[in-house]
Structure 1
């Protein structure tokens, strides 16, 4: 393997999990941004969520245009952070099914590795009930594809697990925060595109048009209820916590100044 292990920063992991939990009906996908060190360790520090043009419950596809746009964003991020950032891999969700990649996932991963041998794949299994505890659990795996078919026979791709480590972070970085705020907009755009396709059919009767508009409105309200509302509340709670922390640090600074003045006078 071209990658020895993967270090995923906690705030990037939060973005991936939030995106995966945004829907339990179809798979979601995105791209991983970061850098590779001399020990062939991939450090993932940013995530780019991708808008799905075709929502399917069991498959996701990344277009060449999306890869090109992601590479451009990685270059912009590299200039902003003054670090050699690039696209390191992709991630997608498995709602209600196992975390292990399907044969389609393994072939897709192999195709990406033809372009970049260090390309990695992450899969997040969500809304999958544990048979013993009867509770939903979240699982994640990191993998690459290896061809065991040899150089002369037909390709026989199999998954190979890559060690994954979640690296703690002091807080949510600006890149991760921008991605979280972007998520409701992406979901609304996807619903808008799906609704726009129904309006292109001029032969629909009035009752069908009203039904389609009602479903579209319901989907938008659902996004506001399960995504926008909790996200705003979480950000407000974090803002409140940060203000409280700032007050503590300010008080601590004043105490240290007072101790310093006491030492000087004594």
Structure 2
């Protein structure tokens, strides 16, 4: 049975979008955490970013080890939140291409639905432009796979679009904030793995080794510039806003204490 619709928390949408915008050269991916109600509505409340072991321009893969680790994290989050949350889906980016899933995406989605028929997929199309205005465009779609072949015939999977609703959230939740902070670390780990792999090639000359080192350093600087810097500004703004709210609450507390004291004096 297909999922009736997906309700995506706004802070989860923010984390997924930041991850999708972190690179325009390859696709990124992650897993969605939440719960399904009796009406087959998926409520997505958290997200887990996945580190890519194999960077590809047009394909992403989730290993069984990553899926197992995500399930463990979901169980830990369920104990923290006091709700039965679990892995409900996956997301990945489409830089510079259409938002619609490829045949590989549809096949991958069908494979996940064999394990859980409520599993959904999100695709974020980023770094695209409107043809008429040349302005940047961001699109997101939610889908599942459906078999169109008659019974007994080889499966022919097609995309089934699932209604997606972005649900406002009053603040950035703790799990989403922790995931967002992990983004620069994940990107740096990916670059380190790629650079470490070059050290396994024994016949590289000195010039090539220097070039690889320079590329690695440049990649780290790029991550610090386009991801680390903006993220730090967001966290600093969040800290300033929290301090402002604390001051307002402190003033309100003092005012209430004075009113309470005045009432006590009058009653005595």
- What TM-score comes out, normalization by structure 2 length? 0.96
Provide structure 2 residue ranges, at least 5 long, that are not aligned to the other structure.
none
Q: Offset at 1:263? A: 5.3
How many Å separate the matches in 2 of 1:76 and 1:150? 42
Corresponding residue for 2:236?
236
How many Å separate the matches in 2 of 1:153 and 1:76? 42
Q: Which secondary structure state, in structure 1, belongs to the residue aligned with residue 249 of structure 2?
A: helix
1:99 aligns with 2:102: no
Q: Which secondary structure state, in structure 1, belongs to the residue aligned with residue 58 of structure 2?
A: coil
Q: Which secondary structure state, in structure 2, belongs to the residue aligned with residue 8 of structure 1?
A: strand
Contact 2:2 2:144 survives alignment (8 Å): no
Q: Offset at 1:233? A: 1.4
Corresponding residue for 1:12?
12
Q: Which secondary structure state, in structure 1, belongs to the residue aligned with residue 46 of structure 2?
A: strand
Q: Offset at 1:96? A: 0.5
Equivalences for 1:191-210 in 2 at 5 Å?
191-210=191-210
- What TM-score comes out, normalization by structure 1 length? 0.97
Q: Which secondary structure state, in structure 1, belongs to the residue aligned with residue 192 of structure 2?
A: helix
Corresponding residue for 2:252?
252
How many Å separate the matches in 1 of 2:162 and 2:189? 34
Corresponding residue for 1:21?
21
Corresponding residue for 2:173?
173
Q: Cα deviations across residues 195-244 of structure 1 (Å, max 9, x unaligned)?
A: 11111101000000000000001001111111111111110111001101
Alignment size in residue pairs: 266
RMSD: 1.3
Provide structure 1 residue ranges, at least 5 long, that are not aligned to the other structure.
none
How many Å separate the matches in 2 of 1:177 and 1:234? 11
How many Å separate the matches in 2 of 1:231 and 1:83? 29
Equivalences for 1:1-266 in 2 at 5 Å?
1-262=1-262, 265=266
Q: Cα deviations across residues 129-180 of structure 1 (Å, max 9, x unaligned)?
A: 1112211111110000000012211211111111111111111111011101
User: Which range is displaced more, 146-155 or 85-94?
Assistant: 146-155
Q: Offset at 1:257? A: 3.7
